[in-house]
């Protein structure tokens, strides 16, 4: 199949920081020639250091790499204070609530809000440098204030996505030994108020001894229960705090935040990020990839509960001195034109969203965007999963009017910021390809020994040199960190970072991501471990065994397909009832995003003689594909036919 190539237009070339492939290659070359010099130059140019670093990279204890050794800085200072001279009255955050209420927060206001919040954490709750604070919040500006307030006093935040259940929240509180939970009464979604605080109450009902207090921001004023001596009203307390708070002096390598993400086992991993390396790359990619300019309005539709919300709603845009938009609700309220109306009204220049949302809005309104003036847009972005050419073309033509480059950004919670992405003013783009590694990033498709793959040969997507914004460790579990990322592939005999993704080069060296090689699936752009869902389903008293696989889905990317073996042979007369119950358990343990779309009650699972479930076979069955794999290694090959029969019914 012939793939189309789209060259950047003259307008984008003119305004972009990196204007040609020659300029891109010069940067790549600079990093090739003198890796530490390259990163040192960026760190000097971009970070307002309190004290300069003494060494760029310490690799003496690989893979526990350290960057910008001895440097002192404060991330909230980098995001706020240093802009006040030039931008105190510039909008830092433009927020719209789902009901249509609006707030515009200037950099000076942001400074006061964050300082008050920081003082509140310090003075009222005794939060100190290194303490963990869980943020369980809707998409309101206070979520960003809370993150920045933690950064200001050196507390380590752990944002938990507001769609996660009480059990999931509890697991994360316990693992991080958090002292404080910051939450809200609730927020608005699909035109209705919903509640968050009661979920916190359930989470804290057991085993959360580390928690000393709960701070509640009022968003929708719905009635909630207050626990005397534990719960505090943010809106009442915040006005009593001083708007000035000295930023804590932080070391480059002090942890900035934890963010839990799914891996291939049941227990989520607390991905730990650093101060200097993280903020350097958040800011740099904001400038290179989104090319934000002084008067631009930039909008990323992610939730702050995901890494995209951390790096590209809060830290990256603010470090770059940009105006970042934040929206509370769903894209389809009151109708499928909500986002397009907002782009028109706020004259958004850069728009960054997920393929799953593009597919949904495409399906709901092919020509809906025609009703709006989207001519302010300059650059479009996607993230989270591979984008299919069909959705890409609709996005490119209908939203971008055929004139906005699409930056298809490949990266992960663990990478902190973009790794593989087009540069809008330089890279000729192909629908569905994330194109090339960014300068300084050694992303390579290799085999397990480190040999580079030939075009069209699938391999392991690895990053073969450390980079500043990389994961430092898994909170409290160094061993799991090494095992998860540094034990699959080697290059020149040395372990290198393996992303978990497969990918291939085309004839021109463009990178095409083929998807996860481990048991992680991607539903609505949300990363879920099949093991987590299996553990939840296993909690149902009638379930004996379960295997979950992802099934390709036109809108969601992947849907959740569960193969369930029930205990005893009572039969499944109450099949529908059990299905409902199973989904209830999933919602309770994880949240609604992980609900099973299809459940097949099967007599057994295809297992090898050593007891390992052959998921490849189950994936093929879920898709309705013919089984090409050799089934002779199975303990009981006949089970495959039986499963196919059930699924066909
Ligand atoms: C940012 C984020 C990471 C996983 C990653 C991939 C998939 C992300 C793309 C993509 C194809 C892309 N962090 N992924 N971006 N696949 N093209 N542009 O999503 O930690 O939640 O997920 O998402 O599989 O490993 S994440």
Question: How far apart, in whole angstroms, are the C-alpha atoms of residue 570 and residue 575?
Answer: 11
Range from 147-161, 281-295, 408-422, 560-574 carrying the lowest mean pLDDT: 560-574
Domain-embedded: residue 395:
no
Q: Containing domain of residue 537, as a range? A: 519-648
Say whether pLDDT at 573 is over 90. no
Residue 528's CATH number: 3.30.300.30
Atom 4, ligand 1: residue with shortest CA distance: 412
Q: What is the pTM of this model?
A: 0.92
Domain-embedded: residue 431:
no
- Vertex 421: Cα angle to 419 and 425 (nearest 5): 135
Q: Which atom of ligand 1 is nearest to the CA of 414?
A: 20
> What is the reported pLDDT for 267?
84
CA of 521 to the centre of ligand 1 (A): 10
What mean pLDDT comes out for the span 77-90? 98
- Vertex 88: Cα angle to 87 and 93 (nearest 5): 85
Atom 13, ligand 1: residue with shortest CA distance: 412
Atom 3, ligand 1: residue with shortest CA distance: 412
Work out the mean pLDDT of the chain and round it to a whole number. Answer: 95
User: Looking up tokens 């990478």, which residue turns up?
Assistant: 415
Among 522, 526, 528, which is best to mutate for testing ligand 1, by the most ligand atoms less than 8 A from CB? 522
Ligand 1: lining residues by beta carbon, under 6 Å = 261, 306-308, 383-386, 408-413, 434, 499-501, 513, 516, 522, 527
Q: What percent of the chain has pLDDT over 90?
A: 88
> Beta strand pairing status for 213-217 and 231-233?
parallel
Domain-embedded: residue 501:
no
Domain-embedded: residue 235:
no
Summarize pLDDT for 375-394 with one digit per residue, the tens.
999 999 999 988 988 899 99
Domain-embedded: residue 357:
no
Q: Which atom of ligand 1 is nearest to the CA of 513?
A: 11
Question: How far apart, in whole angstroms, are the C-alpha atoms of residue 643 and residue 646?
Answer: 5
Other residues' Cβ atoms within 10 Å of the Cβ of residue 69: 15
Atom 8, ligand 1: residue with shortest CA distance: 384
Summarize pLDDT for 137-171 with one digit per residue, the tens.
999 999 999 999 999 999 999 999 999 999 999 99
Atom 1, ligand 1: residue with shortest CA distance: 412
Domain-embedded: residue 530:
yes
CA of 356 to the centre of ligand 1 (A): 12
Atom 21, ligand 1: residue with shortest CA distance: 527
DSSP lists the bridge partners of residue 86 as none
> What is the reported pLDDT for 572?
62
What mean pLDDT comes out for the span 205-228? 97
CA of 339 to the centre of ligand 1 (A): 23
Domain-embedded: residue 206:
no
Question: How far apart, in whole angstroms, are the C-alpha atoms of residue 238 and residue 364?
Answer: 42
Other residues' Cβ atoms within 10 Å of the Cβ of residue 217: 24
Burial 25-62 (b: 16+ CB within 10 A, else e): eebbeebeeebeebbbebbeebbebeeebeebbbeeee
Reported as a pLDDT band with limits 50, 70 and 90, residue 342 is very high
**Of 343 and 544, the one with more pLDDT:** 343
Domain-embedded: residue 307:
no
Give the chain's domain count.
1
Among residues 437, 495, 450, the alpha carbon closest in space to that of 65 is found at 495
Question: How far apart, in whole angstroms, are the C-alpha atoms of residue 625 and residue 425?
Answer: 42
> What is the reported pLDDT for 569?
61
Question: How far apart, in whole angstroms, are the C-alpha atoms of residue 383 and residue 356?
Answer: 10
């Amino acid at each position: 199949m012939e793939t189309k190539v789209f060259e950047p237009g003259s307008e984008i070339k003119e305004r972009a920081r990196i204007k040609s492939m020659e300029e891109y290659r010069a940067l790549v070359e600079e990093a090739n020639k003198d890796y530490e010099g390259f990163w040192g130059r960026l760190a000097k140019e971009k970070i307002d250091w309190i004290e300069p670093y003494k060494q760029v990279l310490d690799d003496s204890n690989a893979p526990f790499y350290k960057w910008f050794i001895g440097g002192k800085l404060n991330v909230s200072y980098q995001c706020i204070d240093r802009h006040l001279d030039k931008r105190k009255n510039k909008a830092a955050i433009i927020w719209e609530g789902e009901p249509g209420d609006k707030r515009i927060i200037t950099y000076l206001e942001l400074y006061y809000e964050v300082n008050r919040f920081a003082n509140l954490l310090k003075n009222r709750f005794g939060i100190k440098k290194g303490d963990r604070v869980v943020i369980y919040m809707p998409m309101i500006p206070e979520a960003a204030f809370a993150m920045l307030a933690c950064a200001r006093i050196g507390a380590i935040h752990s944002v938990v996505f507001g769609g996660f259940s009480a059990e999931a929240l509890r697991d994360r509180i316990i693992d991080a030994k958090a002292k404080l939970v910051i939450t809200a009464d609730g927020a608005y979604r699909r035109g209705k108020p919903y509640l968050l605080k009661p979920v916190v109450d359930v989470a804290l009902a057991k085993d959360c001894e580390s928690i000393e207090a709960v701070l509640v921001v009022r968003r929708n004023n719905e009635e909630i229960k207050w626990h005397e001596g534990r719960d505090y009203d943010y809106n009442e307390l915040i006005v009593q705090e001083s708007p000035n708070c000295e930023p804590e002096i932080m070391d480059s390598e002090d942890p900035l935040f934890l963010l839990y993400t799914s891996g291939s086992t049941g227990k989520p991993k607390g991905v730990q990020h650093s101060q200097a390396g993280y903020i350097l790359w958040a800011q740099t990619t904001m400038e290179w990839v989104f090319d934000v300019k002084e008067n631009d309005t930039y909008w990323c539709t992610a939730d702050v509960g995901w890494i995209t919300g951390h790096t590209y709603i809060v830290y990256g845009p603010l470090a770059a001195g940009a105006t970042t938009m934040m929206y509370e609700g769903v894209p389809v309220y009151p109708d499928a034109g909500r986002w397009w109306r907002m782009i028109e009204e706020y004259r958004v220049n850069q728009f960054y969203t997920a393929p799953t949302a593009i597919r949904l809005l495409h399906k709901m309104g092919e020509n809906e965007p025609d009703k709006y003036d989207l001519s302010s847009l300059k650059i479009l972005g996607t993230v989270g999963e591979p984008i299919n050419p069909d959705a890409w073309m609709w996005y490119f033509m209908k939203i971008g009017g055929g004139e906005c480059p699409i930056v298809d950004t490949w990266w992960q919670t663990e990478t902190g910021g973009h790794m593989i992405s087009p540069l809008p003013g330089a890279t000729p783009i192909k629908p569905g390809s994330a194109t090339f590694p960014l300068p300084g990033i050694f992303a390579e498709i290799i085999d397990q020994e480190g040999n580079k793959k030939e075009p069209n040969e699938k391999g392991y997507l690895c990053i073969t040199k450390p980079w500043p914004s990389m994961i430092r460790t898994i909170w409290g579990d160094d061993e799991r960190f090494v095992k998860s990322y540094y034990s699959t592939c080697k290059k020149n005999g040395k372990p290198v970072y393996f992303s978990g993704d497969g990918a291939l080069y085309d004839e021109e060296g463009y990178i095409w991501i083929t998807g996860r090689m481990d048991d992680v699936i991607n539903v609505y752009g949300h990363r879920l471990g099949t093991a987590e869902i299996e553990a939840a389903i296993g909690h149902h008293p009638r379930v004996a065994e379960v295997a979950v696989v992802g099934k390709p889905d036109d809108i969601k990317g992947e849907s959740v397909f569960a193969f369930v073996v029930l205990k005893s042979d009572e039969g499944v007369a109450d099949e529908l009832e059990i299905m409902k119950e199973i989904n209830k358990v999933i919602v309770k343990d994880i949240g609604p995003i992980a609900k099973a779309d299809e459940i097949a009650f099967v007599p057994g699972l295809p297992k090898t003689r050593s007891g390992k479930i052959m998921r490849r076979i189950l994936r093929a069955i879920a898709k309705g594909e013919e089984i090409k794999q050799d089934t002779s290694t199975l303990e009981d090959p006949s089970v495959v036919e039986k499963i196919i029969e059930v699924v066909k019914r």
